[in-house]
Amino acid sequence: DQQVKQNSPSLSVQEGRISILNCDYTNSMFDYFLWYKKYPAEGPTFLISISSIKDKNEDGRFTVFLNKSAKHLSLHIVPSQPGDSAVYFCAASASNTDKLIFGTGTRLQVFP
Amino acid sequence: NAGVMQNPRHLVRRRGQEARLRCSPMKGHSHVYWYRQLPEEGLKFMVYLQKENIIDESGMPKERFSAEFPKEGPSILRIQQVVRGDSAAYFCASSPQKSEQFFGPGTRLTVL
């Protein structure tokens, strides 16, 4: 049972444009959500997080939006840069546990 | 402040041998998590430990796998009698409390 879903395995965006990565979840107990970026042969790198008491969190070029009623979150990257090309993982956790549940990832490619 | 360290980075074992994976958390972090990533999949939670205690091992296979985080020294993930299906990337993460988890570079285990 995949509790965190990233339905787009890949996304291609032109440099300077906006990248929108989507994530859906099924467990209503999740109250903390994170996005990680991963390069090949490296560990995931934390990007940004959001608590369920908020609907938006912004950090530089990265903004995460949370729609609790739809059980959906998205990561916006603007403007996109070639160095953003990587696999992006959405993850979630519930307040009664510390483990992260990861989606299967979306491979973002930013081309010039 | 050094990040999460894992060693070895690559480990090759023959079927039936034992694999020991080590993780040193970031300084000041007392929470350690182990995740496994199979090819083309997301990270799957295995176990969560605090110093000398296993807090959540709900993702650990019932046999052959064990983990520890002693009072002194790194956390160890031990796989006995490895099989080909154990081939994966194993990531360790640490956090100071319930918050974003910081990941190490991973150990890539190959079972021949």
The C-alpha atoms of residue B105 and residue B11 are separated, in whole angstroms, by: 13
Q: Which residue of A has its CA nearest to B59?
A: A99
- Chain A touched by B90 (CB under 8 Å): no
pLDDT at B80: 97
Instruction: For residue A61, give Cα distances in angstroms to A16, A78, A85, A110.
Output: 11, 5, 14, 14
- Chain B touched by A1 (CB under 8 Å): no
- Chain A touched by B53 (CB under 8 Å): no
Contacting residues of B for A34, CB less than 8 Å apart: 100
B11-67 pLDDT, tens digit per residue, is 999 999 999 999 999 998 889 999 999 887 889 999 999 988 999 999 999 999 999
Per-residue confidence in pLDDT tens, chain A, 112 aa: 789 999 999 999 999 999 999 999 999 999 999 999 999 889 999 999 999 999 999 999 999 999 999 999 999 999 999 999 999 999 999 987 889 999 999 999 999 9
What average pLDDT does the segment B69-95 reach?
Answer: 95
Contacting residues of B for A32, CB less than 8 Å apart: 98
DSSP run (H or E) holding A85: none
Q: Using CB atoms, which residue from B41, B45, B100 is nearest to A49? A: B100
Contact B33, B94 (CB under 8 A): yes
Residues contacting B42, CB < 8 A, separation 6+: A4, A6, A89, A102, A103, A104, A105
**How far is A70 from chain B, CA to nearest CA, in Å?**
22
Cβ-defined contact of B91 to A46 (cutoff 8 Å):
no
Contacting residues of B for A44, CB less than 8 Å apart: 43, 91, 103
Backbone angles phi, psi at A84, to 5 degrees: -80, -10
Contact B88, B2 (CB under 8 A): no
